[in-house]
Structure 1
Amino acid sequence: MEKEKWWKKAVVYQIYPRSFYDANGDGIGDLRGIIEKLDYIRDLGANVIWLCPVYKSPMDDNGYDIADYYHIDEAFGTDEDMDELIAEAKKRGIRIIMDLVVNHCSDEHKWFQKAKADPEGPYGKYFYIKKGIDGKAPNNWRSIFGGSAWEPIEGTDYYYLHIFTKKQPDLNWENKELREEIYKMVNWWLDKGIGGFRLDAITYLKKEAGLPSYPADGEDGLVSVAHGALNQPGIEALLREFRDRTYGRRETLTVGETAGLTPETLLSFISLEDGVFSMVFEFSWCQLELKGPNYFWYDRQEWTPEDLKRELFSSHEMAGDRGWFGVCTENHDQPRSIDHYLPREGRNYYGATMLASMYLLLRGTPYVYQGQEIGMRNCAYASMDDYNDVSTHNQYNRALADGFSPEEALRLVQLESRDNARTPFQWDDTENAGFTTGKPWLKVNPNYTGLNAAQEERDEDSVLTWYKKMIGLRLHSQWSELISEGTFAPAYREEKNLIAYRRRFEGKALLVLCNMQPEERELKLSAAYRQVIADNYKEAAFAGNTVCLRPYEVLIAEEA
């Protein structure tokens, strides 16, 4: 019997635990804080929580460097707290999916400690460990966070590979013993009752045989690690074994962070019939302002809503009716969407609600990142001392090394830092935004006195109210089956700065119109409409079959 694809009728709420809610006053969000706020998530309408890493970790990359996959880090609570969270969420009809980081682990994991002690021994084969060449690294790959992707093992001629920070050694998935350890751990968590996993950096698992050097693409003499470590031939076979030995045996949600997918390989990852995962995140339009393949924050380019529309439509047309996406406009690695996608004149209620509807009604499973539902904004700290994120400091130093002034480099950081999304959740207008009674681990955005959840819960015309309305439309309305099962087709594609699409199912059709510009526009509809389902200006401005769309208006209508 075919397994139930329950995740097609899900809305996922992503929690970055360190910044969500601090229940014990130490300045760090924790599992007990999440338990206390489960009713808020239920009332929003989400029925799945994606929990960023809470495993034991030295926190070099805020938990994405795991030292023990089986235990909770004491900063977040106890193993018993995790069990209680799973149980309490279940009582409210909410499933928990965990972040799974298996491209790499922490250099403090017992496997790596044993590998360093004996690089040629069995645990040395769990990692990519090679002797240097003439006292230099084995190849010229550049880590994603900057600098060589190789770090010497002190007191030896050996180096180990790290695609990310030097405290995140890459695991060697060619090693069968390593794979068996991973499968055992994954099944252990599934047995505890979690609903699935978000798989971090999963398309980096397979490395090119021989780990060759490539021509340098920067003045540092290094080359993007993507050439030899991103979406390499053979990765699908590894991932299919992974699936078949673990989550593929159960009714789980799995979503891949899958940089580097090509049109030719996309469906093998997201096919509703035999995909490696339930879905992958659709990221093609998340860094339009940066040039690949390195995406240095200073290597910028202009973009328009037409570029966003092109990428969005292209991906969804490639997926068609056979594939499934995880759709989002924010996460813990991106700036806040209001600042990221909207010009200054659109950073308001209308722009925020238009963006929300644009992605919440797409074909796929939508993800809401904590604070997005109240319209949280970027936070431009005045000093690099205020930034915590390791990637931010690496990008800042990279900009300085390439000739930018400290002021210029700081401005780039203010625009792009991952800490923009990691400032503490703004619960109310009390001290520290109600996040903690202690000193917050990261400074609270000072705009919290006028932008917080408590205030928006009292306001019928708030961004939070609109999110609840859109999630309700998706999950609990006469349109729910159409939105979860219906087809997707672009509409009015030739209209500049308009993102429009149709969702169709069993003879019914919804039209979604998003005016992504600060000017009004008139649009003559090609088909009659039966009724307006929702409009962020409350009432649509129709004159016959022509509608006037106001700045950043979203109109959702049933077509005849």
Structure 2
Amino acid sequence: MSKQWFKDAVVYQIYPQSFQDSNQDGIGDLKGIQQRLTYLEKLGVDVVWLNPIYTSPNQDNGYDIADYRTIQTRYGSMQDFDDLLADMHNHQLKLMMDLVVNHTSDQHHWFQESKQSRNNPYADYYIWRDPVDGHEPNNWGSFFGGSAWTYVPARGQYYLHLFASGQPDLNWENPKVRQEVYDLMRFWLDKGVNGFRMDVINLISKPAGLPDAPKAPGATYANIEQFVGNGPKVNAYLQEMNREVLSHYDIMTVGECVAVTPEVAVHYANLEGTELNMVFQFEHVGLSANPNPAIGKWNDEPIKLTDLKAVLDRWQTKLDGKAWNSLYWNNHDQPRAVSRFGNDNPAFRERSAKMLATVLHMMQGTPYIFEGEEIGMTNVHFKQLAEYEDLESINAYHELVEDEGLVEPETMLSYLADRSRDNARTPMQWTNQAYAGFSTVQPWFNLNPNYATINVDQALAQADSVFYYYQQLIQLRHQEALIRYGNFTDLLPDDQAIYAYQRQYGNESLLVYANFTDHSVALASQLIKASADHTYLIGNTDSYTHAELAPYEVRVYKK
């Protein structure tokens, strides 16, 4: 397997407005990030991925960009960015920017011009269609609820927005649009940026003819998640991007892809390097014990371990030798890992956080750590709709509870507490002091009240904390080619309690045994036998010679 630096790296994701406030306005900023680079260096990560920091009206937390070449004033100035980038490189950290080019803000000057008439220079920068029988051109629903179309009287047409109405989709069929995108990419890469995370990049090519999508009974609009991804020209567009831009720089790229399978991902993330380095897939974080197409992802049921293993196993085996995996449990769009996949009860929080970290970091691919994950931050468990900021969550409540009557109010609040994106967006918990050391004033968003006991200061003072455990995992990945490149075999695919897998690379072997339950589980004789000729490498308890796994225990053996 070819060895490029992104395959050896560990990435740390920063949600800028929630990481560190340096100017005491309650909002995280670039200088705040710069103040914490020593912390990231201590953790041992290699790359920092920043969520969008560009000028934006902030309808969708910066994913509606009004100017790709300027910095959002709440985060600082371009000089602040240049200083941060230089300091990151001084700390041996690389910087990956968020690239959002499926859509722009409706405040971007391209759209401001495009909406004026059908014959101006920007008229075809976006996707416009005539009304059909006086209504929307098709039945597509937005990912954020409601119609995916908005009417503009000046043109007598609708424009497409797969997300919020303030996020019109760019027309990638127009070669001028593609060249505009490549130019703005070069702008940042020429500054020294080390790569891009590409937002919903596999949506840039729409289905030919924009036909109606299958619609669930009783739904006003069609759920398009499985319908609009992986369009007919997306690979051609990415190959063109690679030829014109990416191949000219030593960078890493990861594409966020909706409704992607391993069979499709092998093209996006192929080892020949003709498109991207890796993709973010959603199969494991999109699992549901009781899927209901009418209400989408919203539920609060735990998922079956066998379902989770089946997804992760498939990605490990199907991409091996063909493409490269990205590894993550949570990000800015997902609930906190320890609350979703582990157990955030104080009795089990730290141990289950370490178990989840081990299961992920021992797999083949590039691991991503979301801010606060390394100290075991949890869901915030809001109890009222008024406490939420996330547009997707608020719209879902209004649509499913008030408009369609599909979910009872208290039930929907329970779903939001379990799955809302806002769980990941509460400010970083640095200390047990006022406002958790994030700011000296009221933050832009409510803190998780448990910052008094879950914070960086506490983690750094505790020798066996979740932080130091992540530090060890990162060090092991840097040291062991086996962890980075070995192939993957699930040893107990049908077990409902234990995730046990083997990694092999040359003559070396790695065994990982993890208990996903809150009770002790006996180790199968085959696992005891397999580990007999291996040496214990790392784990989250001191019981690694016992014939059973303690609640949320994990063990790693190497030969």
Q: Is the CA contact 1:255–1:279 (under 8 Å) kept in the aligned structure 2? A: yes
Greater mean deviation of Cα atoms: 205-214 or 431-440: 205-214
- 1:472 equivalent in structure 2: 475
Q: Which string of whole-angstrom CA distances, capped at 9 and with x for unpartnered residues, describes residues 193-213 of structure 1?
A: 011000101111111222122
SS in 2 for 1:122: coil
- 1:438 equivalent in structure 2: 441
Deviation (angstroms), 1:382:
3.0
Deviation (angstroms), 1:494:
4.2
| In structure 1, C-alpha distance between the alignment counterparts of 2:475 and 2:161, rounded to whole Å | 43
SS in 2 for 1:219: coil
SS in 1 for 2:557: strand
Q: Is the CA contact 2:225–2:258 (under 8 Å) kept in the aligned structure 1? A: no
| In structure 2, C-alpha distance between the alignment counterparts of 1:457 and 1:301, rounded to whole Å | 33
Q: Could you tell me which amino acid in structure 2 is paired with residue 291 of structure 1?
A: P
- 1:529 equivalent in structure 2: 533
SS in 1 for 2:205: coil
| In structure 1, C-alpha distance between the alignment counterparts of 2:310 and 2:476, rounded to whole Å | 26
SS in 2 for 1:152: strand
| In structure 2, C-alpha distance between the alignment counterparts of 1:551 and 1:275, rounded to whole Å | 44
| In structure 2, C-alpha distance between the alignment counterparts of 1:197 and 1:10, rounded to whole Å | 14
Q: Which string of whole-angstrom CA distances, capped at 9 and with x for unpartnered residues, describes residues 151-187 of structure 1?
A: 0114442110000000000000000001011001101
- 2:404 equivalent in structure 1: 402
Q: Which string of whole-angstrom CA distances, capped at 9 and with x for unpartnered residues, describes residues 445-492 of structure 1?
A: 1111111000110001211111111111111x3xx2221222222223
Assess, with a 3 A threshold, how the Cα gap between structure 1 residues 294 and 359 changes in structure 2: closer, same or farther: farther
- 1:483 equivalent in structure 2: 483
- 1:80 equivalent in structure 2: 79
| In structure 2, C-alpha distance between the alignment counterparts of 1:122 and 1:497, rounded to whole Å | 60
- 2:377 equivalent in structure 1: 376
- 1:447 equivalent in structure 2: 450
Which residues in structure 2 correspond to 1:92-131 (within 5 Å)? 92-131=91-130
Q: Could you tell me which amino acid in structure 1 is paired with residue 539 of structure 2?
A: D
Deviation (angstroms), 1:107:
0.1
Q: Which string of whole-angstrom CA distances, capped at 9 and with x for unpartnered residues, describes residues 84-124 of structure 1?
A: 11100001110000000000000000000000112343312
Note the residue ranges of structure 1 that are not aligned, 5 or more in a row: none
Which residues in structure 2 correspond to 1:510-521 (within 5 Å)? 510-521=510-521
Q: Is the CA contact 2:500–2:514 (under 8 Å) kept in the aligned structure 1? A: yes
- 2:223 equivalent in structure 1: 224
SS in 2 for 1:125: coil
Deviation (angstroms), 1:217:
2.0
| In structure 1, C-alpha distance between the alignment counterparts of 2:195 and 2:277, rounded to whole Å | 10
Which residues in structure 2 correspond to 1:147-186 (within 5 Å)? 147-186=146-185
Assess, with a 3 A threshold, how the Cα gap between structure 1 residues 258 and 215 changes in structure 2: closer, same or farther: closer
- 1:319 equivalent in structure 2: 319
SS in 1 for 2:490: strand
Q: Could you tell me which amino acid in structure 2 is paired with residue 406 of structure 1?
A: P
Deviation (angstroms), 1:39:
0.5
- 1:367 equivalent in structure 2: 368
Q: Is the CA contact 1:119–1:129 (under 8 Å) kept in the aligned structure 2? A: no
Q: Which string of whole-angstrom CA distances, capped at 9 and with x for unpartnered residues, describes residues 361-414 of structure 1?
A: 110000000000000011122322221111111111122123233322222211
Greater mean deviation of Cα atoms: 497-506 or 62-71: 497-506
Aligned length: 551
1:200 has 2:199 as partner: yes
| In structure 2, C-alpha distance between the alignment counterparts of 1:266 and 1:192, rounded to whole Å | 30
| In structure 1, C-alpha distance between the alignment counterparts of 2:250 and 2:410, rounded to whole Å | 51
Deviation (angstroms), 1:221:
3.2
Q: Could you tell me which amino acid in structure 1 is paired with residue 404 of structure 2?
A: D
Deviation (angstroms), 1:349:
1.6
Assess, with a 3 A threshold, how the Cα gap between structure 1 residues 558 and 302 changes in structure 2: closer, same or farther: closer
| In structure 2, C-alpha distance between the alignment counterparts of 1:449 and 1:238, rounded to whole Å | 49
Q: Could you tell me which amino acid in structure 2 is paired with residue 351 of structure 1?
A: S
| In structure 2, C-alpha distance between the alignment counterparts of 1:441 and 1:194, rounded to whole Å | 28
| In structure 2, C-alpha distance between the alignment counterparts of 1:39 and 1:344, rounded to whole Å | 28
Q: Is the CA contact 2:11–2:48 (under 8 Å) kept in the aligned structure 1? A: yes
Q: TM-score, normalised by structure 1?
A: 0.95
Q: Is the CA contact 2:300–2:418 (under 8 Å) kept in the aligned structure 1? A: no
| In structure 2, C-alpha distance between the alignment counterparts of 1:539 and 1:216, rounded to whole Å | 52
Q: Is the CA contact 1:5–1:251 (under 8 Å) kept in the aligned structure 2? A: no
Q: Could you tell me which amino acid in structure 2 is paired with residue 457 of structure 1?
A: L
1:385 has 2:386 as partner: yes
| In structure 2, C-alpha distance between the alignment counterparts of 1:116 and 1:494, rounded to whole Å | 55
Q: Is the CA contact 1:15–1:52 (under 8 Å) kept in the aligned structure 2? A: yes
Greater mean deviation of Cα atoms: 184-193 or 273-282: 273-282
Q: Is the CA contact 2:230–2:260 (under 8 Å) kept in the aligned structure 1? A: yes
Q: Is the CA contact 1:215–1:223 (under 8 Å) kept in the aligned structure 2? A: yes
SS in 1 for 2:503: strand
Q: Is the CA contact 1:474–1:484 (under 8 Å) kept in the aligned structure 2? A: yes
SS in 2 for 1:265: helix
SS in 2 for 1:514: strand
SS in 1 for 2:118: coil
Greater mean deviation of Cα atoms: 419-428 or 432-441: 432-441
Which residues in structure 2 correspond to 1:450-461 (within 5 Å)? 450-461=453-464
Deviation (angstroms), 1:344:
6.2
Q: Is the CA contact 2:216–2:294 (under 8 Å) kept in the aligned structure 1? A: no
Assess, with a 3 A threshold, how the Cα gap between structure 1 residues 185 and 344 changes in structure 2: closer, same or farther: closer
Deviation (angstroms), 1:292:
7.1
SS in 2 for 1:261: coil
RMSD value over aligned CA atoms?
1.9
Greater mean deviation of Cα atoms: 21-30 or 460-469: 460-469
What percent identity do the matched residue pairs reach?
38
Q: Which string of whole-angstrom CA distances, capped at 9 and with x for unpartnered residues, describes residues 336-369 of structure 1?
A: 0111113566842211110010001110000000
Q: TM-score, normalised by structure 2?
A: 0.95
Deviation (angstroms), 1:529:
2.7
| In structure 1, C-alpha distance between the alignment counterparts of 2:462 and 2:2, rounded to whole Å | 41
Q: Could you tell me which amino acid in structure 2 is paired with residue 385 of structure 1?
A: A
Deviation (angstroms), 1:301:
6.2
| In structure 2, C-alpha distance between the alignment counterparts of 1:199 and 1:304, rounded to whole Å | 30
